[in-house]
């Protein structure tokens, strides 16, 4: 299966650069996975498509200010890193710029003083040493510091917005879901950005059950598919966790014929990783590199709320597995024609 099959034309001006002031003010395109029928709404109309007994599964990962700007200790050359995943202790997997100059043994200083030549002077607040080259060009860094790492990161770090967003984020919390809880993500699970606490409460009052999983978004979000065929692509692994309460809610829903609705592809991948053949779950945690593309049979997920995804991405492949590639591409053509806002801060799509 060729990766080009999941391509589509997107005018650059449709890439949303800033979030809307009101989270629920986004538009919503609905797509029937059986008939291919589409309809156009505002986000709060999602309530009409959800019914009492549905289990709405949300990813409660919290984005860390994972982008750090520093200088090489020896030359003063600028360096940028994006933390992806904590390995153990003070060792992290990260993307680095410029990669050619940040090889094994390179030392980067953050938050220190620099001299007239740009070289680092005195003790920095944070120091990172490149220990090895990891998967797909990432680096393994070891940090040295005094104090509490997360406090330093909060002080020195910036929110890791995707490269297609050129505008500055007015406030950090706008790149967090309102239910974000467990720190560790290098990107937000963006389908959840549309919810407010008031809207979630309204859904609960209707009889919709809320359940939470955790998947810390990592390298896969920032790496495009470079292979020509789908089966040549190597998925990066990410940490996930399914708590006992969620396992029980999903298992009961599947046994009773009620729908499990995933909020975002990260929630969908977590559920499908943990699900048995009958869709039931047990509490578990670990790493997942699950790759979902057409031909995959979903075990737990019945419906999906998601944003609009990059052409030829693994996320386009996932939603095509759920709704059919032709249905998805036709819906995307409609979204482009009607000037929907795309990607992280863009509008939403509900596949049911």
User: Which string of b and e fits 219-238 if b means at least 16 CB within 10 Å?
Assistant: bbbbbebeeeebeebebbeb
Q: Helix axis angle, 314-323 relative to 325-337, nearest 10°? A: 110
Mean pLDDT of 91-95: 95
Tokens of 110: 């953050």
The Cα 73–Cα 129 span in angstroms is 10
pLDDT (0 to 100) of residue 168 = 86
pLDDT band of residue 175 (cuts 50, 70, 90) is very high
- Using one digit for the tens of pLDDT, what is the confidence trace for 184-232? 999 999 999 999 999 999 999 999 999 999 999 987 766 779 899 999 9
- Using one digit for the tens of pLDDT, what is the confidence trace for 247-299? 999 999 999 999 999 999 999 999 999 999 999 999 999 999 999 999 999 99
pLDDT (0 to 100) of residue 117 = 54
pTM (global) more than 0.75: yes
pLDDT band of residue 330 (cuts 50, 70, 90) is very high
Cis peptide before 98 (omega within 30 of 0): yes
């Amino acid at each position: 299966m060729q990766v080009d099959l999941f391509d589509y034309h997107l005018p650059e001006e449709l890439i949303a650069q800033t979030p809307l002031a009101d989270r629920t003010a986004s538009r919503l395109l609905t797509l029937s996975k059986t008939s291919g029928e589409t309809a156009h709404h505002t986000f709060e109309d999602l309530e009409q498509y959800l019914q009492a007994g549905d289990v709405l599964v949300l990813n409660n990962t919290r984005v860390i200010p994972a982008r750090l700007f520093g200088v090489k200790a020896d030359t003063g050359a600028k360096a940028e890193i994006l933390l992806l995943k904590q390995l153990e202790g003070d060792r992290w997997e990260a993307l680095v710029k410029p990669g050619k100059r940040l090889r094994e043994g390179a030392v980067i200083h953050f938050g220190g003083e620099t001299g007239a030549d740009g070289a680092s002077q005195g003790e920095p607040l944070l120091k990172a040493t490149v220990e090895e080259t990891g998967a797909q060009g990432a680096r393994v860094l070891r940090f040295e510091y005094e104090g509490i790492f997360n406090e330093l990161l909060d002080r020195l770090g910036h929110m890791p917005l995707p490269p297609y967003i050129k505008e500055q984020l007015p406030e950090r919390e706008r790149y967090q879901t309102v239910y974000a809880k467990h720190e560790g993500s290098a990107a937000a699970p963006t389908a959840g950005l549309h919810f407010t606490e008031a809207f979630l409460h309204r859904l609960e009052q209707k009889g919709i059950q809320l359940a939470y999983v955790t998947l810390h978004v990592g390298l896969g979000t920032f790496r495009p598919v470079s292979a020509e065929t789908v089966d040549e692509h190597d998925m990066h692994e990410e940490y996930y966790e399914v708590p006992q309460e969620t396992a029980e809610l999903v298992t009961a829903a599947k046994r009773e014929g009620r729908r499990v609705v995933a909020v975002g592809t990260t929630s969908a991948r977590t559920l499908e990783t943990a699900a048995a053949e009958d869709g039931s779950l047990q509490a578990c945690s670990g790493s997942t590199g699950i790759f979902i593309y057409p031909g995959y049979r979903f075990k737990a997920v019945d419906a999906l709320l998601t944003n609009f995804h990059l052409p030829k991405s693994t996320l386009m492949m996932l939603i095509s597995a759920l709704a059919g590639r032709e249905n998805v591409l036709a819906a995307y053509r409609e979204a482009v024609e009607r000037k929907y806002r795309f990607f992280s801060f863009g509008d939403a799509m509900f596949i049911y």
